[in-house]
Amino acid sequence: VPYIEQLPTYIGLSADAPHAYVISIVVATIAMRTAITLPVTIWQRARTRRMTEIVGPKWEQMKRDLPIDVARRCRVQKKTHAEYKVELQKTLKTELRLLMKKNKCAPLATLLLPLAASIPLFLYASFAIRAALITQGSAIGAEIVPWWSPPADLMAKFEEGAKILQARGLEGEALQKLTTMQGPTLADRDKTMFGPIGLGMLTLINVELGQWLRKPLIEAPTAQVPKDEDEDERSMKKREARERKASLASLRSAVMGNVLRAASIAFVVVASQAPAGLSIYWLSSAAYTLVQNSIFAVIDR
- Establish how many alpha carbons lie within 13 A of residue 6's alpha carbon, considering only the half-sphere containing its beta carbon: 4
Whether 3 and 136 share a structural domain: yes
Whether 165 and 251 share a structural domain: no
Whether 138 and 86 share a structural domain: yes
Read off the pLDDT of residues 133-163 as tens digits, 9 standing for 90 and up. Answer: 999 888 898 888 988 776 666 556 656 666 6
Read off the pLDDT of residues 69-85 as tens digits, 9 standing for 90 and up. Answer: 999 999 999 889 899 99
pLDDT for position 107 = 87
Neighbouring CB atoms inside 10 A of 11's CB total 13
Say whether pLDDT at 12 is over 80. yes
Whether 16 and 155 share a structural domain: no
Helices 172-179 and 152-167 cross at an angle (nearest 10°) of 150
- Does some domain include residue 84? yes
Number of domains in the chain: 3
pTM score of the predicted model: 0.79
Report the C-alpha gap between 198 and 281 in whole angstroms.
12
- Does some domain include residue 298? no
Whether 220 and 264 share a structural domain: yes
Whether 155 and 102 share a structural domain: no
Whether 210 and 104 share a structural domain: no
Nearest Cα residue to 58 out of 96, 3, 32, 115: 96
Structural domain of residue 171, as residue ranges?
149-182
Whether 29 and 131 share a structural domain: yes
- Establish how many alpha carbons lie within 13 A of residue 21's alpha carbon, considering only the half-sphere containing its beta carbon: 26
- Does some domain include residue 33? yes
Instruction: Tell me which of 145, 165, 199 is where a domain ends.
Output: 145
Instruction: Tell me which of 145, 169, 201 is where a domain ends.
Output: 145
Whether 32 and 123 share a structural domain: yes
